[in-house]
């Protein structure tokens, strides 16, 4: 029984079905758009429409040329042609079987005219279903609907064969386990644990993209533990297994890794704050020390920020992503340095240092509290509430988001009669510190302070 909610998808694909069948080809809806029709929850928002066909890439282009508003062919060598029609994106792919050679980072693609063979080479049974068009018949040769109902993640064939074909599927399994609340078939879990090193032939960019997708599912916890328990994390994120230590093995306080995963789950599912949660305690194993029976992690935020940059560079993250996540890791303890209360200067400095990541820093700091001690949790929550109230109060009085001195570098040069040089930056830093400590001062007062600073400096 095809659910009623399939109608908008079928309507959007109907013109393609008519064109391809009219030209003697078969065409099918495949992938997530089919899988999600058999999930208990309704789809929210838009949908991607993926199709597979017996037509080769050249024939696909010929058929849609006069119909599509736009066509893109970057994936043609892999059999995929993209199109846009009335704002809806379509990807149409020739039936294919693809595999990675033993030492290759790129798939070798072969085309076929057998939809069952095409489905047999897909990652999991829940993604190996198709709806034939225009007659709308379910093609489910590997029991994907039954696996969805049973909550099991399986591969269409032997899992070792599937993961040999594309090792990224092992990492993708973590996302499906977490995102769809599934349990790994024992054979699947055993296969991954027996061959995690196979991931080494996959490009860092593909691994990074798959990690990002895991980070933004509602609760990534099950997927993160899958990466740990199968050895996959050792292959691309070895710092994670190193965090599997107790903060205090004498009194058996909370495990650093379990705490980290709890913080990730607590944060909202946005990529940067989730990555910051994953990395925030990465420096603890390198900084752990014991003194008088107590454990400490002095400067783990400094060490952690550096380790974060190194690991994210290895995974080919953008400079912007690296800077943002490392900054949040570096600042995630800043809140606790103001345990005696929030002066105006402390609030300004906190806002200045966080800059456009202020909301993310506040959320990370809140979610970093995973203690079961309700009294301590309530105390930290009240202090965070107090900080946010102080920020709001100062924002109402001052332009905190554009905190800068009342005079600029050109005015300082003219006033002091000097040429461009590092002294200008030092003077502006001096005025900014005054701005933070004392609040806004006038232009006249700014020139007086610069005169005094210049005299003392020279």
Residue 458: what pLDDT? Answer: 77
Residue 26: what pLDDT? Answer: 96
The beta strand positions in 105-247, using DSSP E, are: 107-111, 130-133, 137-139, 152-153, 183-184
Cβ of 58: how many Cβ atoms within 10 Å?
A: 12
Cβ of 428: how many Cβ atoms within 10 Å?
A: 17
Residues 6+ apart with CB under 8 A from 153: 124, 126, 147, 173, 176, 177, 180, 182, 183, 184, 185, 188
Length of the chain as a residue count = 458
For residues 258 and 301, the answer to whether their CB atoms sit within 8 Å is no
β-strand 96-100 against 88-94: which pairing, if any? Answer: unpaired
Residue 451: what pLDDT? Answer: 84
Residue 252: what pLDDT? Answer: 46
For residues 149 and 143, the answer to whether their CB atoms sit within 8 Å is no
Q: What is the pLDDT of residues 231-253, one digit of tens each?
A: 999 999 999 999 987 554 444 44
The rounded Cα 32 to chain-centroid distance in angstroms is 20
The beta strand positions in 78-226, using DSSP E, are: 80-85, 88-94, 96-100, 107-111, 130-133, 137-139, 152-153, 183-184
Residue 251: what pLDDT? Answer: 41
Q: Taking the chain (458 residues) in consecutive chunks of 10 residues, what is each chunk's mean pLDDT?
A: 81 94 96 88 65 95 93 90 94 81 63 90 95 94 96 96 93 97 97 96 95 97 97 96 68 74 95 97 85 75 95 97 97 79 80 89 89 75 82 68 75 85 84 78 84 84
The rounded Cα 270 to chain-centroid distance in angstroms is 7
Backbone angles phi, psi at 156, to 5 degrees: -60, -35
Residue 398: what pLDDT? Answer: 59
Superfamily of 4-149 according to CATH: Beta Polymerase, domain 2 (3.30.460.10)
What are the extents of the domains in the chain?
A: 4-149, 151-236, 241-401, 406-457
Beta bridge partners of 80: 93
Residue 263: what pLDDT? Answer: 95
**Under CATH, which number does the domain 151-236 receive?**
1.10.110.30
Residue 399: what pLDDT? Answer: 58
Residue 253: what pLDDT? Answer: 47
The rounded Cα 182 to chain-centroid distance in angstroms is 20
- Nearest Cα to Cα of residue 55 among 111, 98, 9, 97: 111
pTM of this prediction? 0.81
Backbone angles phi, psi at 230, to 5 degrees: -100, -10
Q: What is the pLDDT of residues 271-321, one digit of tens each?
A: 999 999 999 999 998 888 777 767 767 789 899 999 999 999 999 999 999
Helices and strands (H, E) in the chain, number of each type: 23, 13
Beta bridge partners of 336: none
How far apart are the C-alpha atoms of 63 and 371, rounded to whole Å? 61
Tokens of 57: 């890439």
R_g of the chain, CA atoms, integer Å: 28
């Amino acid at each position: 029984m095809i659910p009623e909610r399939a109608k908008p998808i079928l309507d959007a694909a109907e013109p393609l079905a008519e064109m391809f069948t009219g030209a003697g080809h078969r065409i099918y809806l495949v992938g997530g758009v089919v899988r999600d029709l058999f999930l208990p929850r309704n789809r929210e928002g838009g949908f991607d429409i993926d199709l597979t066909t017996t037509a080769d890439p050249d024939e696909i282009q010929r058929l849609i040329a006069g119909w599509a508003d736009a066509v893109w062919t970057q994936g043609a060598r892999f059999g995929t042609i993209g199109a846009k029609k009335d704002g809806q994106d379509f990807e149409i792919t020739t039936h294919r079987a693809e595999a990675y050679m033993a030492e290759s980072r790129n798939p070798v693609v072969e085309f076929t005219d057998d939809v069952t063979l095409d489905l047999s080479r897909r990652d999991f049974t829940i993604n190996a279903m198709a709806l034939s068009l225009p007659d709308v018949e379910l093609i489910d040769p590997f029991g994907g609907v039954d696996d969805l109902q049973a909550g099991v993640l399986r591969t269409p064939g032997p899992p070792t064969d599937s993961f040999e074909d594309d090792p990224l599927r092992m990492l993708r399994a973590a996302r499906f386990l977490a995102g769809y609340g599934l349990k790994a078939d024992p054979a699947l879990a055993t296969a991954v644990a027996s061959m995690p090193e196979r991931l080494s032939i996959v490009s860092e960019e593909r691994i990074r993209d798959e990690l990002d997708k895991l980070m933004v599912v509602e609760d990534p916890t099950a997927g993160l533990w899958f990466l740990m328990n199968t050895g996959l994390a050792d292959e691309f994120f070895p710092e994670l297994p190193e965090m599997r230590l107790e903060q205090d093995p004498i009194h058996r306080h909370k495990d650093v890794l379990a705490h980290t995963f709890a913080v990730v789950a607590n944060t909202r599912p946005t990529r940067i704050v989730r990555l910051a949660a994953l990395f925030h305690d990465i420096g603890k194993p390198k900084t752990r020390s014991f003194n008088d029976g107590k454990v400490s992690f002095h400067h783990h935020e400094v060490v952690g920020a550096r380790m974060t940059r190194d690991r994210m560079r290895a995974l080919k993250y953008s400079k912007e992503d690296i800077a943002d996540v490392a900054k949040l890791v570096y600042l995630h303890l800043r809140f606790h340095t103001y345990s005696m209360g929030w002066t105006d200067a402390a609030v300004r400095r906190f806002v200045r240092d966080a800059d456009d990541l202020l909301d993310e820093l506040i959320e990370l700091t809140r979610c970093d509290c995973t203690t079961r001690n309700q009294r301590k949790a309530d105390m930290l929550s009240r202090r965070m509430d107090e900080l946010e109230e102080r920020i709001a109060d100062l924002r109402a009085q001052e332009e905190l988001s554009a905190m800068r001195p009342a005079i600029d570098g050109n005015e300082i040069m003219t006033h002091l009669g000097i040429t461009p040089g590092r002294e200008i930056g030092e003077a502006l830093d001096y005025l900014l510190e005054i701005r933070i400590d004392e609040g806004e001062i006038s232009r006249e007062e700014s020139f007086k302070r610069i005169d005094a600073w210049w005299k003392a400096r020279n």
